[in-house]
Every structure is written in C-alpha cells, then in structure tokens.
Structure 1
C-alpha cells in the first residue's frame, strides 16, 4: 500500500516514514502543504497521514482541496493534544480519523490498516478467498493453513489484488502502488512477481486465482 506522509517536523517525519516502511508501506513524504497538495494530485495513494499545522498551506485547506478534486483516499489527521477544535475541523473538511500527538507507532499502523481495509470494503484484518488467507496486520499469507514465504514486493502485489477482488488491475497501477515516487520503476518486474505468486499459491495444484488479461492487466478472482 502506498502512503502519503505530511509532517513539517523533520525528525518526526523521518521516524514515521521509517516505521511505515517497516510496516510494509510504500511512503512518499511532504514537509509542507504545498508539496502535499502536489503529491496528492499526482499519485494514487491508498492512505494519507496529515499534520494540520503545516507551512505554506495548512492541512485543513489541503484536505478540503483534495476532497473537492475527488481524491477519495482515506486521511488520518495528526493533531496536538488538547486541540479538539482542530480535530473537528479536520474531520469536517474530509478527514477519516485522527490521532493525537504523542502516539504509539503501533496504534498509527493499526489505524492506517483499518482505514485501508474499510475503504476497500473489508472490516476484518484477515481477508479470505477460498483456501487463501491474507492477514493484513501480521502481513502473512496462508494457503490451506500452510504459511507462504513471500518477499516484501510479492506480498504487496498480492495484498493489493486481494483488496480489489474481481477488478482489472493494470501493471501501471500495481507499479504505482508498490514503488515510491523516486524509485526506478520497471513495470515488467510486475510480471516476475505475478509469476512467483502463482507458483507459491498453486504449489499444491488447482488454485489459480490470478488471471492475466492481455493488454489490460490482472484480476484476482476469489477461489472456492
């Protein structure tokens, strides 16, 4: 999943970015509202973490502008303790949840995971598709109760596909959601990840949930 992290305090931003990446997120960082607005318009995020007291353009205005321009990804607001008015304004502007500073990283990750799941229509952290079970909290995948050994990128590809079942997902879309903005992207690598996933998911034979649609992309169809 790809996250936009907007925080003007450099040390905190770097700390949060490291924790998010460790938690499996692809992260783009913005130190001010102007950069946040540019990135939010330019890239397809799965979730955003937004401080409100930002230089150049404040967080409330960033949220309002993104919502008016039909950017619907979930937004988690960061606010200072005791500033309940900011929380109310942020939620009314289009934010989906808030977290008060200081906070525990584990809670931040749990809230982000919940926002991503709910935006995709899932209430439980465990997504099941026949014998395939993906735990978005633990980042583990099982097939018929046997855990698979997946690389970070293999997991990200499968997670995105399973959060968007029966949708046609292009290689470009997958590339945009698993790589950060400054990475050297090669969409052909997606074919390699898909090939590995198919072998690992279908090691016992008979499970073929990932369909290739030539010239269009891939579709994950739940298996019985």
Structure 2
C-alpha cells in the first residue's frame, strides 16, 4: 500500500493486449501507477510483489476464471477489486460481488466512469483502514473512518459534497488534485460543470479557515486545489 501522498498503484489484469496497454496509458495520465498482467497467474504474482492499492480485474482470463482470482485475493487481503468484464449476466455480477469484488464495470465502458469508480474504491479503502483513518494538518483533524471533522477540537459540520471534496484532498494531503480529478471523484465525471467545484471549494475554504495565518485549502490557479500539509497544532 502506498502512502497517501504517493501515486496509487493499480494492478490491471486484462488479457486483451490493446485494452491492457490503453488502460495503462489512461491510468498513468490520470496520476495512477499502473502495473499490468495478462493472465491470472501473472496477476497474482504481481499482486504479491507490488501490494497494489486497488485491482482492476477482467473475468475472462486465458488460464483461469477471474472469479477464482477474486476468491484468492480475498483470502489474503481486503484490497479493493473492481471487476471489468464483457459478461452481462446478472448472476455473474452477483457471484463476483459475493466473492468480495467491490464494484463491477461492464465493457464497453466510459473512461471517466471507470476512473471515478477507482477513486471511490480507493477512498473507501482509506476510510476502512482502522490503522490510519486520521489525517491531521494544522488544527484540522479528519477521521475518514467515522467521517468526523474537527477544527481546533470543535466539530465541523459539512454537507455530503463538501465532505467528499475534503476527503479527496485529505488522501492527497500536500499534493495538488486537478480540477478534472476532483470533478471525477466527487461528481462522477470530469465533464461536470466546474462552477460546481468552485462553489463548493469556496464554501469549504470558508469553513476550514486557516492556520498560522495561511489558508488550509490552497488554490493552484489553472491546475487544481490542495489541502496544505502543516504540522499539527
């Protein structure tokens, strides 16, 4: 598992060479670190070697059914698994989810939707980690497990969208998250109206305030936003 400030590692297990390569390019451009495999055996080997943050798994693999891969990963780890498959039978989806997959995306798929689902899976994994659910910066404390925010030890009330926005910034503490990535993560598509983002950033910035004379929510003009990394109070 990478540190929150590092690119998340995505293990792509997909036997179609052209789709495998396209996914790797897309993921890298979106700020992920892709690791690719084209068979179940190779995927499980890379899973053990790289300890990825999330797995993107095709069910139709040449050497073994992807359902078996889900079961084997779940036997050793709670790493999020997003199934990517052309199989549209409801029973297959139910079986994959019952075995422990976290999400199911059917081919053909939209890139924006896929990236949004990956980011959601990563956020949920961070929130579920009992060992490090807290993010602290200045006098701000964000409990991603309990969804509790305190500022100077006082509870801070946020709307659901404000919380989702802050959570995305928190798991990338100190690093700028692009406008497109925030739109994908919070609204599900980079094509969402950027004015929504500006409005919620303005509201969130006002609620978070600053620390030691500097704002906690920082704008990088033309690029995106970041949650400042400041020594806790």
Q: TM-score, length-normalised on structure 2?
A: 0.58
Considering only aligned residues, what root-mean-square deviation do their CA atoms show, in Å? 3.3
Extract unaligned runs of 5+ from structure 2: 1-7, 128-143, 145-162, 186-204, 206-214
Give 1:65 deviation, angstroms.
0.8
Extract unaligned runs of 5+ from structure 1: 150-154, 163-200, 209-222
Say which of 35, 43, 50 aligns to 2:50. Answer: 43
Give 1:80 deviation, angstroms.
1.4
Q: Which residue matches 2:218?
A: 146
Say which of 31, 53, 59 aligns to 2:60. Answer: 53
> Is the 8 Å Cα contact of residues 4 and 40 (structure 1) preserved in structure 2?
yes
2:42 aligned with 1:2: no
Say which of 46, 66, 72 aligns to 1:65. Answer: 72
> Runs of 4 or more off by more than 4 Å in structure 1?
131-136
Q: Number of matched residues?
A: 157
Q: TM-score, length-normalised on structure 1?
A: 0.60
Secondary structure at the residue paired with 2:34? strand
Q: Which residue matches 1:124?
A: 164
Q: Give me the whole-angstrom Cα distance separating, in 2, the residues matched to 1:132 and 1:55.
A: 42
Deviations 1:96-145 (A, max 9, x none): 0000110100000000000000111147243366x979658339xx9544
Change (3 A) 1:106 1:56: same
Give 1:16 deviation, angstroms.
1.0
Question: Which one scores higher on RCO, CA 8 angstroms, separation ≥ 6?
Answer: 1
Deviations 1:37-94 (A, max 9, x none): 11112222111100001011221111101111x2211000012153222211111111
2:187 aligned with 1:115: no
